[in-house]
A and B are shown apart, each in its own frame.
Chain A
Amino acid sequence: MAKPTKPLYSSLDEWVDVQPLEQYEKVNPLAPIFYTDEYKDATSYFRGIVKSGEMSPRVLDLTEHIIRLNPAHYTAWQYRYRTLMSIKAPLDVELKLMDELAVKYLKTYQVWHHRRLILTETRDPQRELAFVEESLREDTKNYHTWSHRQWVLSHFNDIDLWRGELDFLDTMFNQDIRNNSAWHHRFFVVFQSGVREGEEDRERVVRRELTFTKQNISFAPNNPSAWNYLRGVLEFNKLPFSTVTTFVFPYTQPTDPEAVDLVDLDNPPPSKQAELPCPAAIEFLADIYESEGGESLLKANQLWKSLADEHDTMRKRYWEYRIKESLQKGST
Chain B
Amino acid sequence: MAKVLVFIDNPGASLKKSSLELLTLARSLGESAVALNGELSDGVAAAFGEYGVGTVIRPSTDDLDDFLVAPKAAYLAAAAEAAGAGIVLLDNSPEGKEIAARLGIRLNAGVITDVVAVDADGTGHKSVLAGSYNTACKATTPVSVLTLKANNVTPEPAAAPTTPEAATVEVPAGSSTAAARITAREQKVATGRPDLTDARIVVAGGRGMDGDFGPVEELADALGAAVGASRAATDAGWISHDAQVGQTGKTVSPQLYISAGISGAIQQKAGMQTSKVIVAINKDAESPVFEIADFGIVGDVFDVLPQAAAEIKKRKG
Are chains A and B native binding partners rather than an unrelated pairing? no
- Chain A residues with CB under 8 Å of chain B are none
- Chain B residues with CB under 8 Å of chain A are none
